[in-house]
Structure 1
Amino acid sequence: MTTMQSPADLRWYIVHTYTGQEDMVKRNLDLRRHSFGMMDRITRVEVPAEDEIIRNKGERTAQRRKLFPGYILVQMIMDDEAWFLVRNTTGVTGFISAEEEGGDRPRPVPLDDREVDDILDRVASGEPRAVIGMIQGDTVRISEGPFADMLGRVEEVDEHRGQVKVLISVFGRETPVELDFMQVEKV
């Protein structure tokens, strides 16, 4: 028999899945928690992913990328029944766990709520992230703006701001220009 637990006992856990099976595991776990009447103990299942914009042969394409391939986040009250339901869902290989001193088995380790909030806020922002496949010293062609079609050398990459500093030759002098990732392409 399960003891009564409160919503304050809800914690986030990382569940390991087969890589590439995260969405299927989420669907299966959602179905199982509904059919077993455990929506109050397993409240959310998340597959954190974000959109990325990639430039391929001059064309921009958007694709969805999982932030943690092979893992999902589950908000739940950890008790034997909920653990068993999650652990025995098709595609789940286990929880991220740690051994407790004197314990008989490893226990799932809950995540800090702030960490999960940061992850979910990043995903919820909905802004696609530009992916740049270049590093300092690469030669690039500027594809947009007043310097379009000019060649330059990557001086600096700032992934957080989505910008790249490129040195171009203007009147025989190297001049730095800051551009968005989408304004340059690797030569």
Structure 2
Amino acid sequence: MAYKIKDLDSKLLSDLKIDLNHTHQWYIVTVVSGNEQKVIENIKDKLNGYGYGDKLSDLKIIKEKIKEVKIYEPSEAPRSMKNRANTKWETIVVDGVTKYRCTKIKEGNKFNGYIFLKAEMTDQIWFLIRNTQMVTGLVGSSGKNVKPIPVPEDKILKLIADNDAKRALVNLDEQTNSQQNVVVVESHETEDLPNFEVDQQVKIVADTFFGEIARIAKIDQNKKVATVEFEFFGRINTLDLNFNDIQPYDEEAELEN
């Protein structure tokens, strides 16, 4: 059946996932390294403040999962050594000596100094973005009134898919006994789960969407499962996640890090 766009209302367009924003394209913005999240917030606030929020479809950092393993001597170990969604503690014996191993999954910016933006690059938007604090430029723009070069969406989607495939391989249960003289003698207990509430902001710390910020839409206390909603590439996604796959999100603390 052939649909005529003019006959469809906005809800049906959304249900069919038909995007009429053909003027919205992907661009790569260069920023001062380490300030990517702050720049994202600044750009969003600036465009919304000037009434150009509809010109922006998406603005994101491409994140990677980083696995860190640290072994502590008994005298160096922290007082609390409980497991969390992204942290695993084990008591190990190395050459007959008891020690403590902490395996942690952290998130990081895969492309330091870059953020990815999908927008309608009008003269006004171009001016506001390049004059945002800690923005150093846009890829493809020479700075001589030459607009930046858009990146084809299929290239961005492939970049995301390839990165997600690599992130899926990084997990706490991946073999860490690279030395034959290491023996795991005890896995530590799991830390008590926090009390979550509907409408609370949380960070996803498991699966493909590791690092994404979401809102709790529904909670099943008996099953310890939360239904969360989050925006990904301009669309609202819904997931059912165990409590140990999310953690409370503190925006101010994140911006300070």
Would you call these one fold, judging by a TM-score over 0.5? yes
Whether 1:15 aligns to 2:29 is yes
State yes or no: 1:127 paired with 2:168: yes
Partners of 1:17 and 1:94 within 8 A in 2: yes
Alignment of 1:83-162 (within 5 A): 83-97=126-140, 105-121=145-161, 127=168, 129=170, 140-142=178-180
The Cα shift of 1:142 comes to 4.5
Contact 1:43 1:75 in 2 (8 A): yes
Q: Given the two structures, how large is their TM-score scaled by the length of structure 2?
A: 0.45
Secondary structure of the corresponding residue to residue 52 of structure 2 = coil
Corresponding residue number in structure 2 for 1:31: 45
Match of 2:106 in 1: 63
Give, in whole Å, the separation in 1 of the partners of 2:120 and 2:35: 24
- Structure 1: unaligned runs, 5 residues or longer: 1-5, 131-139, 150-187
Task: Give every structure 1 segment of 4 or more consecutive aligned residues whose post-TM-superposition deviation is greater than 4 Å.
Answer: 122-126
Amino acid at match of 1:141: Q
SS in 2 for 1:62: strand
Consecutive unaligned residues of structure 2, counting only runs of 5 or more, are 1-19, 72-100, 172-177, 185-257
Partner residue in 1 for 2:95: none
Distance in 1 between the 2:149 and 2:42 partners?
Answer: 22
TM-score w.r.t. length of structure 1: 0.60
Q: Which has the higher strand share?
A: 1
Number of residue-to-residue matches in the alignment: 130
Could you tell me whether the CA contact under 8 Å between 2:36 and 2:61 is conserved in 1?
Answer: yes
Q: Name which of 119, 133, 147 aligns with 1:76.
A: 119
Q: Conserved in 2, the CA contact under 8 Å of 1:50 and 1:65? A: yes
- 27 and 124 in structure 1: CA distance in 2 versus 1, 3 angstrom threshold: farther
Is the alpha carbon distance of 1:35 and 1:69 closer, same or farther for their aligned partners in structure 2, counting shifts above 3 Å? same
The structure with the largest alpha-carbon Rg is 1
| Maintained 8 Å contact 1:53/1:128 | no
Matched to 2:68, the amino acid is: I
Q: CA RMSD in A?
A: 2.9
Alpha carbons 2:126, 2:147 under 8 Å: kept: no
